[in-house]
Structure 1
């Protein structure tokens, strides 16, 4: 995949269960991990099904699990380099005592207005992007945040230059939500080059593209895949995350794909391009 804009996603590390050795782990990494050389994120997610989000200097460290009700299938870690002029946000939303989603953690760059108002925002189930992700228990993307009826802070997004959002659900069990992760970014200085959300088709033998956000210059992709076809199909069949260098020549790019489960059922595969 060739893009005209460098993304702020600088490094990816994946720890995945090795089916040949169930007690072991396979680890793939790209980029500079010197800020977290000895991090063992997998140990922290054996029981926890939430999100790990931290600022390290001018970088944002993000880690989250891929897990069924019964077992941890892997952990995805990402490092984002945020320059001074970056526009972006990382938010973790959790259920409060009114059974609405309220902000548990937020990291913002050049989004003063949104940073100020967001602690007072609440999302009932089915309301806004976090509420949609909670209701459907599926990842979702929104383009053109400033004009989206499904983004309650659209006026602030429009004035700040936010363009797109990605929401990921993390479940304690089949019906109990742990948290929703939102990543909000700009096309001018994108968090990543592309993100795709794939769902199993009605027969369960293939995948259909549900959402895609891609920066200018990104290649076209098919709207359907067979199980085991390409990185996304491989992850759907194997049921653990995978990092891979895809494409040829100048079009090569690193991609990470990870499964999301509802209970023990594979619900979707999300694919992010560095």
Structure 2
């Protein structure tokens, strides 16, 4: 099933799950990829996010979720450049000196950020990529224009960046292979809300550990108080089934805060699991 969006760099997204020896799109078994086929299959094979650039400014970003060597699913974000739409996706990988350097990136409308990023390296714990590396845990960071944790703060101010998401991807053995960053502008964010969920070992319930909701204060207030059980909301489904999930009905799917999503004009969301080895450590939710 392909979910389409309007007025967003991501104009459509798909969730792929294991189906025998292939990955099939949710609710569409005819849309499938084998190991190494297309961006989806290549992300499965490589275990890190993969870009596929097409014609007329179209780009697909495939984001895999691997539990040890088992692929539990791939999220495909279909993007296109359009006037007035800005944002960035970056893949940072370790170099021969043990630092994170830019490996691949896509920066529509953010040329200054692209230029600066070519020359920056992140040691462990430095900046958002280095912190995600050290923690081996995803993180949402808001207020980039004033954040001490965002090294490229001058570029953030000039490009009017608002928030960022960092996600680790582990190699074999479970050492860091790559960090994915998604960078949102204030006016036209790629994801209008982002959350990282984790399980409280004492209660077994899920709670938000970092998030950004942009201007949606009522949604932020209710969400930060919320806890979920397995099978509740996107995060509860991801934790229960250990696969990515998506919905185009946040009003009904994200009870009891569905009305807050509706009031914010949000109808679609997706979530994907983040594994360290065999352990599910977090779920990342994007509301587009």
Does TM, normalized by the shorter one, top 0.5?
yes
* Superposition TM-score, scaled by structure 2 size: 0.82
User: Which stretch shifts more, 59-68 or 49-58?
Assistant: 49-58
Structure number with greater CO (CA < 8 Å, separation at least 6) is 1
- What are the ranges of 5 or more consecutive residues in structure 2 without an aligned counterpart? 1-5, 32-36, 253-258
Instruction: Describe the SS at the equivalent of 1:109.
Output: coil
Q: Which residue matches 1:267?
A: 281
**Deviations 1:151-202, CA, capped at 9 Å, x for gaps:** 1110111122111111111111363111111111112111122111001112
C-alpha contact (below 8 Å) 2:122/2:129 kept by paired residues: yes
Q: Decide whether aligned partners of structure 1 residues 182 and 78 sit closer, same or farther in structure 2, where only a CA change above 3 A counts.
A: same
Alpha-carbon separation, structure 1, partners of 2:144 and 2:182: 12
Q: Which residue matches 2:106?
A: 107
Q: Which residue matches 1:12?
A: 13
Cα shift at 1:81: 3.4
Instruction: Describe the SS at the equivalent of 2:107.
Output: strand
Match of 1:244 among 244, 247, 262: 247
More helix by share: 2
How much is the aligned-residue C-alpha RMSD, in angstroms?
2.5
* Superposition TM-score, scaled by structure 1 size: 0.86
Instruction: Describe the SS at the equivalent of 1:138.
Output: coil
- The within-5 A match list for 1:109-148 is 109-148=108-147
Alpha-carbon separation, structure 1, partners of 2:103 and 2:174: 20
C-alpha contact (below 8 Å) 2:9/2:87 kept by paired residues: no
- What are the ranges of 5 or more consecutive residues in structure 1 without an aligned counterpart? 34-38
- The within-5 A match list for 1:51-62 is 51-56=49-54, 57-62=56-61
Alpha-carbon separation, structure 2, partners of 1:167 and 1:83: 24
Instruction: Describe the SS at the equivalent of 2:47.
Output: coil
Cα shift at 1:142: 1.0
Cα shift at 1:42: 4.3
Aligned pair count reads 260
Cα shift at 1:85: 2.4
**Deviations 1:97-155, CA, capped at 9 Å, x for gaps:** 10000011122123232222211100001100000111111111111111110111101
